[in-house]
Structure 1
Amino acid sequence: MNEVEILARLRHQNLVSLYGCTSRHCRELLLVYEYIPNGTVADHLHGEQAKPGSLPWNTRMSIAIQTASALSYLHASDVIHRDVKTNNILLDNNFCVKVADFGLSRLFPNDVTHVSTAPQGTAGYVDPEYHECYQLTNKSDVYSFGVVLIELISSKPAVDITRHRHEINLSNMAINKIQNHALHELVDPFLGFESDSMVRNTITEVAELAFQCLQSEQDMRPSMEKVLENLKRIQGENGYSENTEEVEIPADEVVLSKRDPPPLSLDSVNVNGICWETTPIASS
């Protein structure tokens, strides 16, 4: 129900579309989303679909920008995702991003500075200040996105217990490498960091941006809007171009009033004994 309430308010080309849900009177509680066929970013970086050199840097930049665009839109719509990770970033056959899994997401009132709640999320991505102080803000998503940026740079998982104990968390490894001017030891060797000056310059700037996102204090991190702005600047300055045209949808045109519950269904149908309710969301 949390996912339905959140997604009924939103529409963005880089958010997975919710097609419908079962009736609340049905025994089986199911959500139906658009099918995204090409797996997750995690699959392509260090999972079953990972192959050396198969995900070039320009594609990774595009993934970073599209993900940042989706998160920036969420924050403008007063929603905190709270579980940003490469396993929740889906890819279509053209490697276009669809951010998914809103089970932990929270609506964030625009008249408060934070929401006090028990820390939830995935190990390796959880904002340390949120974990320590139980105060959730949109900067918690920024921290998690910083880990995603480091994954895109390194092709390493966010947590790996086979690494040295000080480097089990990828965020710790990245901060140490960047501070010690050893970024080359972190970068995926198949990205051309050593041989291509444009790739080297771009990765270096993205690493510096990730470093800002990974600051332990929330106030030290940039906003998601600023992160997106910087990624686009880095991309433009280094001669890369997006493969897809971005369509911005103003948040005030698609976000429903928080005072009114979203219309969860327009119609009901019965399929194989399951009563389905379709949501008022059109596929983009």
Structure 2
Amino acid sequence: MSDEQNPKKITRAFVLAAGLGKRMRPITATLPKPLVEVAGKALIDHALDRAAAGGIETAVVNVHWLADLMEGHLTHRTGAPEIVVSDERDALLETGGGVKRAIDRFGHEPFVVFNSDSFWLEGPRPNLGRLIEAWDPDTTDILLLVAPTATSLGYDGAGDFYMDADGRLSWRGEREVAPFIYAGVAILKPELFADTPEGPFSLTLLFDRAIRRNRLKGLRLDGQWLHVGTPEAIQAAEARVRDSARIV
């Protein structure tokens, strides 16, 4: 089957890299969070390298906080994916608004959204490839990569979702604990942004709408998700990476 005939081929991505990284201060007072290094590589390069390995040919990256540093770093990358910068210097648009500003870049084709700080240890098969293979536009509007809260390193929250046997997701209720957390990678349809606010809004708006239609699904991460939200968490993540390398 040719690439043109393969409905599973997704070649474009949006990488969310404009946030302020407040929980990572004081590091992020002078360095954008996506440029913080974990295991010898900037977080955004971990994301972009995994995108390239998964067949992503073009990645739109939004910039806001310390945007000149971000653009300078991206300029020096070589190889896939091709980088297109979405400039949000004028206003921080949150996750949904940031994607919407660049939505014309994706035409009518589904695309991947990465949180630039999504970081995990892979299982036997790369998770982005698994996510793209699992994508079914006939039954799904949004497909999320989700990680088990019980095995995620550095995460002490209550989780985000319940998942049924068919992969359908639902939010946890108040005062409840859910077994899965959003791992920061998703596949979305561009038409979902047609009836959304102008300016800042969160992607959770689209998650909510998809849940009401029973069309938000999840794929369980194969491997281990590493939460890198604070300076202390970076050290724990790097220790886990070293331990994993010794095991291999």
TM norm structure 2 = 0.29
Structure 1 or 2: larger helix share? 1
More strand by share: 2
